[in-house]
Protein backbone atom coordinates (compact mmCIF):
# COMPACT_ATOMS: atom_id res chain seq x y z
CA UNK A 1 0.00 0.00 0.00
CA UNK A 2 2.89 2.38 0.72
CA UNK A 3 5.21 1.05 -1.99
CA UNK A 4 7.10 3.61 -4.10
CA UNK A 5 4.75 3.15 -7.06
CA UNK A 6 1.84 4.21 -4.82
CA UNK A 7 3.39 7.49 -3.70
CA UNK A 8 1.96 9.51 -6.57
CA UNK A 9 -1.53 8.20 -5.84
CA UNK A 10 -1.30 9.16 -2.15
CA UNK A 11 -0.02 12.65 -2.97
CA UNK A 12 -2.66 13.34 -5.63
CA UNK A 13 -5.47 11.94 -3.45
CA UNK A 14 -4.39 14.17 -0.55
CA UNK A 15 -4.15 17.32 -2.66
CA UNK A 16 -7.49 16.67 -4.36
CA UNK A 17 -9.15 16.08 -0.98
CA UNK A 18 -7.89 19.39 0.39
CA UNK A 19 -9.24 21.29 -2.62
CA UNK A 20 -12.53 19.36 -2.67
CA UNK A 21 -13.09 19.79 1.06
CA UNK A 22 -12.48 23.53 0.84
CA UNK A 23 -14.57 24.07 -2.29
CA UNK A 24 -17.24 21.74 -0.94
CA UNK A 25 -17.88 23.97 2.05
CA UNK A 26 -18.91 26.76 -0.29
CA UNK A 27 -20.88 24.31 -2.46
CA UNK A 28 -23.04 23.51 0.57
CA UNK A 29 -23.15 27.10 1.82
CA UNK A 30 -24.20 28.46 -1.58
CA UNK A 31 -26.59 25.61 -2.41
CA UNK A 32 -24.51 24.74 -5.49
CA UNK A 33 -24.91 20.96 -5.35
CA UNK A 34 -26.19 20.85 -8.92
CA UNK A 35 -23.08 22.65 -10.18
CA UNK A 36 -20.85 20.25 -8.22
CA UNK A 37 -22.55 17.38 -10.04
CA UNK A 38 -22.82 19.04 -13.44
CA UNK A 39 -19.24 20.23 -13.90
CA UNK A 40 -17.66 16.74 -13.72
CA UNK A 41 -20.21 15.64 -16.32
CA UNK A 42 -19.10 18.54 -18.50
CA UNK A 43 -15.45 17.58 -18.01
CA UNK A 44 -16.01 13.93 -18.94
CA UNK A 45 -15.93 14.39 -22.76
CA UNK A 46 -12.82 16.53 -22.38
CA UNK A 47 -10.93 13.63 -20.85
CA UNK A 48 -12.23 11.33 -23.56
CA UNK A 49 -11.15 13.77 -26.29
CA UNK A 50 -7.71 14.15 -24.71
CA UNK A 51 -7.28 10.37 -24.87
CA UNK A 52 -8.35 10.39 -28.51
CA UNK A 53 -5.87 13.16 -29.38
CA UNK A 54 -3.07 11.68 -27.28
CA UNK A 55 -2.59 14.72 -25.04
CA UNK A 56 -2.50 14.98 -21.24
CA UNK A 57 -5.92 14.21 -19.79
CA UNK A 58 -5.91 17.17 -17.39
CA UNK A 59 -5.95 19.72 -20.23
CA UNK A 60 -9.05 18.19 -21.78
CA UNK A 61 -10.72 18.01 -18.37
CA UNK A 62 -9.92 21.61 -17.50
CA UNK A 63 -11.00 23.07 -20.86
CA UNK A 64 -14.35 21.28 -20.90
CA UNK A 65 -14.97 21.94 -17.19
CA UNK A 66 -14.40 25.67 -17.69
CA UNK A 67 -16.64 25.51 -20.77
CA UNK A 68 -19.21 23.95 -18.46
CA UNK A 69 -18.94 27.02 -16.19
CA UNK A 70 -19.69 29.26 -19.16
CA UNK A 71 -22.61 27.01 -20.11
CA UNK A 72 -24.10 26.98 -16.62
CA UNK A 73 -23.77 30.76 -16.36
CA UNK A 74 -25.52 31.23 -19.71
CA UNK A 75 -28.25 28.69 -18.95
CA UNK A 76 -29.21 30.58 -15.77
CA UNK A 77 -30.80 33.13 -18.07
CA UNK A 78 -33.10 30.55 -19.68
CA UNK A 79 -36.74 30.23 -18.72
CA UNK A 80 -36.20 26.61 -17.63
CA UNK A 81 -32.49 26.50 -16.70
CA UNK A 82 -32.79 23.13 -14.95
CA UNK A 83 -34.25 21.39 -17.99
CA UNK A 84 -31.83 23.10 -20.40
CA UNK A 85 -28.82 22.16 -18.26
CA UNK A 86 -30.00 18.56 -17.97
CA UNK A 87 -30.30 18.26 -21.76
CA UNK A 88 -26.81 19.71 -22.25
CA UNK A 89 -25.33 17.26 -19.73
CA UNK A 90 -26.98 14.31 -21.46
CA UNK A 91 -25.53 15.49 -24.78
CA UNK A 92 -22.07 15.84 -23.22
CA UNK A 93 -22.18 12.31 -21.83
CA UNK A 94 -23.09 11.03 -25.28
CA UNK A 95 -20.24 13.05 -26.80
CA UNK A 96 -17.83 11.58 -24.26
CA UNK A 97 -18.98 8.06 -25.12
CA UNK A 98 -18.38 8.82 -28.81
CA UNK A 99 -14.83 10.07 -28.17
CA UNK A 100 -14.06 7.01 -26.05
CA UNK A 101 -15.32 4.63 -28.70
CA UNK A 102 -13.19 6.34 -31.35
CA UNK A 103 -10.10 6.12 -29.16
CA UNK A 104 -10.17 2.30 -29.10
CA UNK A 105 -9.96 2.14 -25.29
CA UNK A 106 -13.66 2.16 -24.62
CA UNK A 107 -14.19 -0.25 -21.72
CA UNK A 108 -11.19 0.66 -19.57
CA UNK A 109 -11.59 4.39 -20.12
CA UNK A 110 -15.28 4.38 -19.26
CA UNK A 111 -14.56 2.49 -16.05
CA UNK A 112 -11.81 4.90 -14.98
CA UNK A 113 -13.52 8.14 -15.98
CA UNK A 114 -16.99 7.35 -14.66
CA UNK A 115 -16.12 5.46 -11.48
CA UNK A 116 -12.56 6.56 -10.66
CA UNK A 117 -9.27 4.69 -10.77
CA UNK A 118 -6.80 6.50 -8.54
CA UNK A 119 -4.34 3.60 -8.76
CA UNK A 120 -3.70 4.70 -12.34
CA UNK A 121 -2.46 8.14 -11.25
CA UNK A 122 1.12 8.87 -12.30
CA UNK A 123 3.83 11.50 -12.07
CA UNK A 124 2.22 13.54 -14.85
CA UNK A 125 -0.75 14.19 -12.58
CA UNK A 126 1.35 15.77 -9.82
CA UNK A 127 1.85 19.33 -11.19
CA UNK A 128 -1.86 20.08 -11.75
CA UNK A 129 -2.72 18.36 -8.45
CA UNK A 130 -0.27 20.58 -6.56
CA UNK A 131 -1.57 23.67 -8.35
CA UNK A 132 -5.20 22.88 -7.53
CA UNK A 133 -4.63 21.33 -4.10
CA UNK A 134 -2.77 24.39 -2.84
CA UNK A 135 -4.16 27.12 -5.08
CA UNK A 136 -7.89 26.52 -4.67
CA UNK A 137 -7.87 26.64 -0.83
CA UNK A 138 -5.60 29.70 -0.92
CA UNK A 139 -7.93 31.65 -3.24
CA UNK A 140 -11.06 30.57 -1.37
CA UNK A 141 -9.57 31.56 1.97
CA UNK A 142 -8.57 34.95 0.58
CA UNK A 143 -12.14 35.44 -0.63
CA UNK A 144 -13.72 33.79 2.40
CA UNK A 145 -15.58 36.83 3.75
CA UNK A 146 -17.11 38.07 0.45
CA UNK A 147 -18.02 34.54 -0.67
CA UNK A 148 -19.70 33.80 2.67
CA UNK A 149 -21.43 37.19 2.78
CA UNK A 150 -22.77 36.89 -0.77
CA UNK A 151 -24.04 33.37 -0.04
CA UNK A 152 -25.83 34.22 3.21
CA UNK A 153 -27.16 37.68 2.29
CA UNK A 154 -26.88 38.25 -1.49
CA UNK A 155 -29.13 41.32 -1.55
CA UNK A 156 -27.24 43.02 1.27
CA UNK A 157 -23.92 42.09 -0.33
CA UNK A 158 -25.01 43.64 -3.63
CA UNK A 159 -26.18 46.76 -1.81
CA UNK A 160 -22.72 47.10 -0.28
CA UNK A 161 -21.08 46.97 -3.69
CA UNK A 162 -20.02 43.33 -3.91
CA UNK A 163 -20.25 41.79 -7.36
CA UNK A 164 -22.24 38.63 -6.66
CA UNK A 165 -22.08 37.61 -10.32
CA UNK A 166 -18.30 37.97 -10.32
CA UNK A 167 -17.94 36.01 -7.10
CA UNK A 168 -20.23 33.30 -8.48
CA UNK A 169 -18.12 33.06 -11.63
CA UNK A 170 -14.90 32.88 -9.59
CA UNK A 171 -16.35 30.16 -7.39
CA UNK A 172 -17.63 28.11 -10.34
CA UNK A 173 -14.23 28.39 -12.05
CA UNK A 174 -12.44 27.08 -8.96
CA UNK A 175 -15.07 24.35 -8.64
CA UNK A 176 -14.51 23.37 -12.28
CA UNK A 177 -10.75 22.91 -12.00
CA UNK A 178 -11.18 21.07 -8.69
CA UNK A 179 -13.63 18.68 -10.34
CA UNK A 180 -11.24 18.19 -13.25
CA UNK A 181 -8.39 17.09 -11.00
CA UNK A 182 -10.66 15.08 -8.69
CA UNK A 183 -12.20 13.06 -11.50
CA UNK A 184 -9.53 10.28 -11.47
CA UNK A 185 -10.10 9.85 -7.72
CA UNK A 186 -13.87 9.48 -7.64
CA UNK A 187 -15.00 9.36 -11.26
CA UNK A 188 -17.33 11.73 -13.07
CA UNK A 189 -20.45 10.21 -11.52
CA UNK A 190 -19.27 10.42 -7.91
CA UNK A 191 -16.76 13.26 -7.73
CA UNK A 192 -19.38 15.62 -6.31
CA UNK A 193 -19.74 13.33 -3.27
CA UNK A 194 -16.20 14.21 -2.18
CA UNK A 195 -17.23 17.86 -2.17
CA UNK A 196 -20.74 17.62 -0.74
CA UNK A 197 -20.52 14.80 1.83
CA UNK A 198 -17.67 16.04 4.07
CA UNK A 199 -18.80 19.68 3.85
CA UNK A 200 -22.42 18.88 4.70
CA UNK A 201 -21.28 16.77 7.64
CA UNK A 202 -18.98 19.54 8.86
CA UNK A 203 -21.83 22.07 8.82
CA UNK A 204 -23.91 19.76 10.98
CA UNK A 205 -21.09 19.28 13.46
CA UNK A 206 -19.67 22.83 13.66
CA UNK A 207 -21.56 26.11 13.40
CA UNK A 208 -18.67 28.58 13.14
CA UNK A 209 -17.71 29.14 9.47
CA UNK A 210 -13.91 28.84 9.58
CA UNK A 211 -13.82 25.75 11.88
CA UNK A 212 -16.50 24.14 9.69
CA UNK A 213 -14.35 24.81 6.63
CA UNK A 214 -11.32 23.25 8.33
CA UNK A 215 -13.33 20.21 9.43
CA UNK A 216 -14.65 19.76 5.90
CA UNK A 217 -11.09 19.60 4.57
CA UNK A 218 -10.04 17.14 7.29
CA UNK A 219 -13.02 14.85 6.63
CA UNK A 220 -12.41 14.95 2.87
CA UNK A 221 -8.76 14.07 3.45
CA UNK A 222 -9.65 11.10 5.69
CA UNK A 223 -12.24 9.86 3.20
CA UNK A 224 -9.77 10.08 0.30
CA UNK A 225 -7.11 8.19 2.26
CA UNK A 226 -9.56 5.49 3.32
CA UNK A 227 -10.91 5.16 -0.23
CA UNK A 228 -7.40 4.79 -1.65
CA UNK A 229 -6.45 2.14 0.92
CA UNK A 230 -9.67 0.19 0.37
CA UNK A 231 -9.33 0.42 -3.42
CA UNK A 232 -5.81 -0.98 -3.15
CA UNK A 233 -6.89 -3.84 -0.87
CA UNK A 234 -10.03 -4.83 -2.77
CA UNK A 235 -9.29 -3.81 -6.39
CA UNK A 236 -12.68 -2.08 -6.44
CA UNK A 237 -13.07 1.46 -7.87
CA UNK A 238 -12.04 4.21 -5.49
CA UNK A 239 -15.16 6.16 -6.47
CA UNK A 240 -17.33 3.52 -4.80
CA UNK A 241 -15.56 4.00 -1.49
CA UNK A 242 -15.54 7.79 -1.81
CA UNK A 243 -19.30 7.78 -2.33
CA UNK A 244 -20.18 5.31 0.43
CA UNK A 245 -17.80 6.82 2.99
CA UNK A 246 -19.03 10.35 2.26
CA UNK A 247 -22.62 9.22 2.73
CA UNK A 248 -21.71 7.38 5.96
CA UNK A 249 -19.93 10.44 7.39
CA UNK A 250 -22.88 12.68 6.53
CA UNK A 251 -25.37 10.23 8.08
CA UNK A 252 -23.26 9.96 11.24
CA UNK A 253 -23.12 13.76 11.52
CA UNK A 254 -26.89 14.04 11.18
CA UNK A 255 -27.46 11.34 13.78
CA UNK A 256 -25.06 13.03 16.18
CA UNK A 257 -26.78 16.37 15.65
CA UNK A 258 -30.15 14.74 16.29
CA UNK A 259 -28.95 13.07 19.48
CA UNK A 260 -27.50 16.34 20.79
CA UNK A 261 -30.77 18.11 20.13
Domains present along the chain, CATH in parentheses: 4-254 (1.10.3470.10)
Yes or no: say if 241 and 193 are a contact pair by the CB < 8 Å rule. no
Q: What is the pTM of this model?
A: 0.81
- 105 versus 11: the higher-pLDDT residue is 11
Spell out the residues 6+ positions from residue 31 whose beta carbon is closer than 8 angstroms to its own.
151
Q: Averaged over 72-91, what is the pLDDT?
A: 67
The residue with greater pLDDT, 231 or 54, is 231
- State pLDDT tens for residues 30-54: 887 777 777 777 777 887 787 778 7
How deeply is 183 buried, as exposed, middle or buried, from its count of CB atoms within 10 A (0-12, 13-18, 19+)?
buried
- Above pLDDT 90, what percent of the chain? 14
pLDDT value, residue 178: 82
Categorize the per-residue pLDDT at 211 as very low, low, confident or very high, splitting at 50, 70 and 90. very high
Q: Quick one: pLDDT at residue 223?
A: 93
120 vs 9: CA distance, rounded Å? 8
At 214 the pLDDT is: 93
pLDDT of residue 216 exceeding 90, the answer is yes
Amino acid sequence: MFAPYMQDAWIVASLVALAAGCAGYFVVLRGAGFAAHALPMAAFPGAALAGLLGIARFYGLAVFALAGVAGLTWLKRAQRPDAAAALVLVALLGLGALFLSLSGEYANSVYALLFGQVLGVGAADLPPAFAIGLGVPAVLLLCFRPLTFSALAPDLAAARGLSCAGLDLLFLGLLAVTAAVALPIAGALLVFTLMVGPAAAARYLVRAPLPALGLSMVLALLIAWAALALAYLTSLPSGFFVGTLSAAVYLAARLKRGINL
